[in-house]
Amino acid sequence: MRSSCIWIRILPLIIVITLPLILVTGTLQAQAPTGPTLPPDLASVVTDAYRMFNLTAVLKHIEYFASLGSRFTGYPGFYKAAEYIKNVWESYGLDVWTEEFEVTIPMSKGAEIVIELPNGTRITMRAYPLMPNYVNPCPYESPPEGDILIWGGNGYFEDFTGKPVNGSFVVMDFNCRWYWENALILGAKGVIFTTPSITTRIEAEWKALAIPYNFPRLYLSKGDSITIRKLLYRYKTLRAWIKSDMEWIRVKAYNIIAAYRPPEIVEPEIAVISAYYDAFSIVPELAPGASDAIGIAMLLELPKLFLKHPPKREIWFVAFAGHYQGLKGGREFIDRHFDDIASMGKRQGKLALFISLDLVSDNQDLAMYAIGNFYSYFYPESIRVKFASMISNIFYTFIPALESIIGRNIHIFDEVAQSYPPWYSTSPPYEPFIKFSEAEVFLEAAYGGGLTIITTNCLRMYRETPFDTFRNLNPENIKLQGEVLWPLLYYIVNMPITYDLRPFRYSADHGWIIAKLQLGIYNTTTRWYDNFTHPDAIVMFYQQPLAGAAGFMSAINLRAFLGFIEVIKPNPDGSLVVKGLKPMSNY
């Protein structure tokens, strides 16, 4: 009974306290602001855009691209991808055309290792050359007596104790960080890497030298890696004949453009939405580029949205080639369409907005930026201020409204004005690698109008490695990004363009320079240069950072921080042309 009395007394107390809490909470909710909203007709289209994102279709495109072996620019899979893109866009009834250009790439002509066992049996293994050391593709062929193979483990000095490293080829784990260079220090002729169970982009970055030293590095398949490990464990050393051939060649590449002209054009300017379709790997023959394919896969599906909901302006969907060759496709496109860029008083039918996509599946977080690492500027704020009105509208009107429509928080960062989320300044997104896109090329030429949307806060773990495969993608993160991008892109391309563009060839902080060069050799008699040419001549052209900007060079893909690098094989007469140089810069 005593217990019951206590319960009877406490229960009313609980009721009395709880009811006011409920009333107070209800009052607070009723007074909470609803946030920005969109006009009903636009809200309806945005809602449909969110629902129209088709993950299954996007994944189907990605799986196809990743199945082509290698989409490294100039390799067979690259051309199959180009044809596929063209066919898909033509099936929508879009106006599709291609723009051809030439680009210099390191073309692998194959590698082979023939191993002789003590009993005379020979085993042949296919190998894959790695990217050149700087500009040296490191061709090699064993002497008639062959070479010696030894096991080098992880490349630590103790792994070489008692082994004949000098003059031998060292077989070792790919995931050895930079310790493979110890084999070079000890006099090895080259290194043969075995396939790991998994690897990372950082490991790949460490597998090329930033000097043109002739030190062959080869990569074995998983099956051959297991075999050679077992053989070296048993025999300690093996005799082998190695042949590896890679050379710089000029190949044809294609930008693919699909134009959609809506029945009624309200806004006079043309908007470009783009992505690249080539891929990259430290092993050029093994560049599946599944994460590289996310952007172009989305771009292939995106026209369906605008066909159902016609935009206010003409849109060009552009698939770029040569992304990893110093944004070669982007520079060729801008050079060809320089006179088509909008300017003060000339906006009708001119290019005024240029958006690039560069996505991965490591994370769902998105970021929008204008100035990346391809060009540097003396006065970056003068560019950022051009986007002030647009950025404010996107992040403080549209994004909150979209969050209300889709019922979840959107993970997106404003890297243009660095204003969103409100806590951006205390916790900006993490970008471990340099970022660059074709939109930056437009920005350099027009001094505005170029925006890039990327996946941020991630390591891009498998990109630029043979492990960038379809099975290593995270479909859920692709879905979460796509559901935001569909309505976001629709909204952006329909916004009025209020900023001014200045497509100048030469200006104080931007421009578009074309350099026509000629190889020469000094003639001591005439005291001047004679034209020079050589079938193996290679020119590396790169921009040095502007004064006061620190920089570094990444050997893996031959690009520089705050400046681009392009490797060019000259014409037969020794001449060459470089497009898209920045005025008032050192090259």
pLDDT (0 to 100) of residue 5: 36
Shared-domain flag, residues 239 and 314: no
- Domain assignment present for residue 152? The answer is yes
* Predicted confidence (pLDDT) at residue 554 exceeds the cutoff of 90: no
Instruction: Read off the pLDDT band of 4 (50, 70, 90).
Output: very low
Shared-domain flag, residues 313 and 232: no
pLDDT (0 to 100) of residue 11: 34
Report the run of H or E that residue 293 belongs to, with start and end: helix 293-301
What is the distance between the alpha carbons of residues 125 and 195, in angstroms, rounded to a whole number?
A: 13
The arithmetic mean of pLDDT across residues 271-292, rounded, is 98
pLDDT (0 to 100) of residue 34: 55
- The per-residue pLDDT of the chain, averaged, comes to 90
* Residue pointed to by tokens 């310790």: 179
Q: Which one of 493, 525, 545 terminates a domain? A: 493
Q: What CATH number has the domain bearing residue 184? A: 3.50.30.30
CB atoms within 10 A of CB 191: 24
DSSP helix/strand/coil, 395: helix
- Domain assignment present for residue 120? The answer is yes
pLDDT (0 to 100) of residue 443: 97
pTM to 2 decimals? 0.90
* Predicted confidence (pLDDT) at residue 549 exceeds the cutoff of 50: no
Q: What percent of the chain has pLDDT over 90?
A: 84
Report CA 418 to chain centroid distance, whole Å.
Answer: 22
pLDDT (0 to 100) of residue 345: 79
Instruction: Read off the pLDDT band of 563 (50, 70, 90).
Output: low
Enter the tokens of residue 438.
């074709």
Shared-domain flag, residues 128 and 85: no
pLDDT (0 to 100) of residue 542: 81
What is the distance between the alpha carbons of residues 230 and 224, in angstroms, rounded to a whole number?
A: 10
Classify strands 366-369 and 450-455 as parallel, antiparallel or unpaired: antiparallel
553 lies in which domain range?
513-581
Span 497-537, pLDDT tens digits:
999 999 999 988 899 999 999 999 999 999 999 999 999 99
The arithmetic mean of pLDDT across residues 218-227, rounded, is 98
* Predicted confidence (pLDDT) at residue 30 exceeds the cutoff of 70: no
Span 335-348, pLDDT tens digits:
999 999 999 878 89
pLDDT (0 to 100) of residue 544: 65
Shared-domain flag, residues 408 and 367: yes
* Predicted confidence (pLDDT) at residue 575 exceeds the cutoff of 80: yes
pLDDT (0 to 100) of residue 37: 87
Q: Which one of 444, 464, 493 terminates a domain? A: 493
Span 135-154, pLDDT tens digits:
999 999 999 999 999 999 99
The arithmetic mean of pLDDT across residues 544-559, rounded, is 42
Shared-domain flag, residues 117 and 227: yes
Least confident of 68-77, 235-244, 350-359, 376-385: 376-385
Strands (E), 450-527: 450-455, 513-518, 520-523
What is the distance between the alpha carbons of residues 109 and 579, in angstroms, rounded to a whole number?
A: 29
pLDDT (0 to 100) of residue 24: 33
Q: Which one of 427, 458, 493 terminates a domain? A: 493
Shared-domain flag, residues 474 and 412: yes
The arithmetic mean of pLDDT across residues 481-490, rounded, is 98
The arithmetic mean of pLDDT across residues 538-567, rounded, is 57
Shared-domain flag, residues 317 and 284: yes
Shared-domain flag, residues 285 and 431: yes
* Predicted confidence (pLDDT) at residue 28 exceeds the cutoff of 50: no
Least confident of 157-171, 172-186, 371-385, 388-402: 371-385
pLDDT (0 to 100) of residue 123: 98
- Domain assignment present for residue 81? The answer is yes
pLDDT (0 to 100) of residue 584: 84
- Domain assignment present for residue 33? The answer is no
